[in-house]
Structure 1
């Protein structure tokens, strides 16, 4: 029994309606959450799990794709509420999640502060205060590129840098499902690179999309956009060619 449960969570952020899609992976022995939303999202996660006839009391692990605020915001609260949880992240992400290194998103925001107009600066300062408020959480287990976890039919770790240097996506071997994190997003039914202004290295992000073509993907799940409807390989190739029309995409 290997099941994938979508936890589509709707909320308001900065005056606009948004949706994120954390995922629960389930087998006979494990209930694994992939990413966990903004701070104070624990009740929303619990409610979304309940709608799937599941309870977070049964959670065994949390896999973090990267240390952005909407992916780790409720991680410390989860660990506090369910102390038996094993927190898993990519090896280079662990110090940021644990608060041992300054968030790269915070460094990015601070670096742009002096170049902003006064009105924009106030918003940026509020964002910086918010980033500083994210509660750190120790990582229990680190993983590496192409490592295979013997969970839920097999989970391969795919290092997909660009959005952040330590970003990972997950390939579920049994169901040929890719959990993309923020490696790609769905906008108006199309695959896109996650918000370019938040992508720390666009060329790396494009190379990461190209890497995904090495996998036989029947289902693609994006944190922003949910489940992609359509031919995944074709959509990935179209995305790559939109960024570099001169290069032929051979994979897939």
Structure 2
């Protein structure tokens, strides 16, 4: 088994940023963890190819949670590769599949009422972006402690950033794929975007759960891979 860090640079609101989806490669498994922003499928395919793999061989996409920068290209990916199985937590599956309104959209709508005038336009744009996301049926739901890929990957419930957020622990590689449960902030693990956490106290507890694993490698969607000394 191997974990490949994908690097997807982009510009948003005049600023350059990078997100880091992960690719899990094992016997008969090629699993993408999170799917970038809307329109990112060609970039994802190119980045997978750059590392010597082929997106046509993807078997699974694992969603850590519902956020625009994580599920944006999921619909396009499933449409192009219909055999790919979508995995998400029970709590997040309803929003991804469109069975219920996402908690992120509810938060954005509530925050809009209190934004200062200079942020109102961005707030309205962000809500429109969330509303325009296309839904995708989830093929498999998971919960804390579930195992994937013949027991080689364990699901960890890491609520806080969103209530149904999950991370992945791969013991044989002494590695954690953290999603947004942790960010690599100047060489240390921290809470990702605490101002947007739906439950900050829960996010702090989840970060503690991940650090307690004392993994050698943490793959953070924001900030990139952190190798612990």
TM-score, reference length from structure 2 = 0.96
Shift of residue 214 of structure 1?
4.0
Deviations 1:172-192 (A, max 9, x none): 121111000001101222322
SS of alignment partner, residue 205 of structure 1 = helix
Runs of 4+ in structure 1 deviating by more than 3 angstroms, as ranges, are none
Q: 1:120 to 1:54 in 2, by over 3 A?
A: same
Q: Partners of 2:119 and 2:172 in 1: how far apart?
A: 47
The partner residue of 1:166 within 151, 160, 164 is 164
Q: Partners of 2:87 and 2:116 in 1: how far apart?
A: 40
Moved more, 67-76 or 221-230: 221-230
Q: Partners of 1:22 and 1:122 in 2: how far apart?
A: 29
Aligned to 2:182: 184
Give yes or no for the alignment of 1:71 onto 2:70: yes
Aligned to 1:91: 90
Aligned to 1:157: 155
SS of alignment partner, residue 174 of structure 1 = helix
Which of structures 1 and 2 has the bigger CA Rg? 1
Q: Partners of 1:28 and 1:150 in 2: how far apart?
A: 9
Deviations 1:161-204 (A, max 9, x none): 00000000000121111000001101222322111111111100
> RMSD of aligned C-alpha atoms?
1.2
Aligned to 1:223: 221
Aligned to 2:38: 39
Contact 2:162 2:198 in 1 (8 A): yes
Gaps of 5+ in 2: none
Contact 2:217 2:228 in 1 (8 A): no
Q: Partners of 2:81 and 2:224 in 1: how far apart?
A: 26
Q: How many equivalent residue pairs?
A: 229
SS of alignment partner, residue 227 of structure 1 = strand
Gaps of 5+ in 1: 232-252
TM-score, reference length from structure 1 = 0.88
SS of alignment partner, residue 120 of structure 1 = helix
SS of alignment partner, residue 96 of structure 1 = helix
Q: Partners of 2:219 and 2:207 in 1: how far apart?
A: 14
Q: 1:161 to 1:228 in 2, by over 3 A?
A: same
